[in-house]
Amino acid sequence: MDNIQRILLSSKHFIPFAGYILKITHLPQNYTSVSQFLNLFTLEFKRSILDIRFLNNFVLSKTDTSRLLEWVQFHVPKIKSRNKQMFEISIRRSIYLWIDPIQRIMRIINFYPKLKMNLRNGPHNVLLLT
């Protein structure tokens, strides 16, 4: 069993126990309210936040990675449209290229176009603009 599976397994046992001890009301078999009350986030959510923070620092030149700049392609529209994609993502025909970290980060930003990219103090500051 690898470390990620151990963390997920321990969180599956901890969150219901914490909800019971702290008497947090929640729906049966749904512990999202307990997680939100305790400010606990999933590993997938934390990874997306770290990806976005990295890309934010990368685009604002806070991270000195000139070689990575070759991999990032900004979307420049030729005509005025409603398409608000920030990055141009080429079509990948292989799963190995699909899980490329830079491509994954750009897909996250393109999928959530209203995501505020100024993330300084952690996952609790992620805001979707409405």
Query: Any idea where the domains of the chain sit in the sequence?
Result: 1-40, 42-130
Supply the pLDDT for residue 113. 58
Alpha helical stretches, state H, 1-130: 3-21, 32-37, 43-59, 95-98, 101-111
Of the candidates 83, 84, 56, the residue with the CA atom closest to the CA atom of residue 72: 56
Q: How far apart are CA 85 and CA 57, in angstroms?
A: 19
| Single pTM value for the model | 0.53
What pLDDT digit, counting tens, does each position of 21-80 carry?
Answer: 888 887 777 777 787 788 777 777 888 788 878 877 777 777 777 777 777 777 777 777
